[in-house]
Structure 1
């Protein structure tokens, strides 16, 4: 496993780095910051968590 950029909708939102046999997510965009420092078994699991998280967010009022 190597570190890799994680994209959502064609934009980089963080990186995944190997950590004790899992992938630790480091968020670089505010809209996924709640997932920062969480560990995932696969990149697919991480991408699914990002999609679920973004879909479940309520819009911020301006």
Structure 2
């Protein structure tokens, strides 16, 4: 597998790259930086982690 872009709600938020028989997530958007450099078994696992991360993230007023 080559590197692959990961999107959330149609917006690119990071990439995954093969690393030690798993996928390492590299965040490119601040709101998913908490997942940066974590390893996953599949892109679907990354997307589930992003959803869970954003559902539990504090909301800041603008």
Question: TM-score, length-normalised on structure 2?
Answer: 0.95
Q: Which consecutive residues of structure 2, in runs of 5 or more, have no partner in the other structure? A: none
The structure 1 segments of at least 4 consecutive aligned residues displaced by more than 2 Å after TM superposition are none
RMSD: 0.8
Aligned residues: 62
Q: Which residue of 1 aligns with 2:8?
A: 8
Question: TM-score, length-normalised on structure 1?
Answer: 0.95
Q: Which residue of 1 aligns with 2:19?
A: 19
Alignment of 1:42 onto 2:48? no
Q: Which consecutive residues of structure 1, in runs of 5 or more, have no partner in the other structure? A: none
SS at match of 2:18: strand
Q: Which residue of 1 aligns with 2:32?
A: 32
Deviation at 1:61, TM superposition (A): 3.3
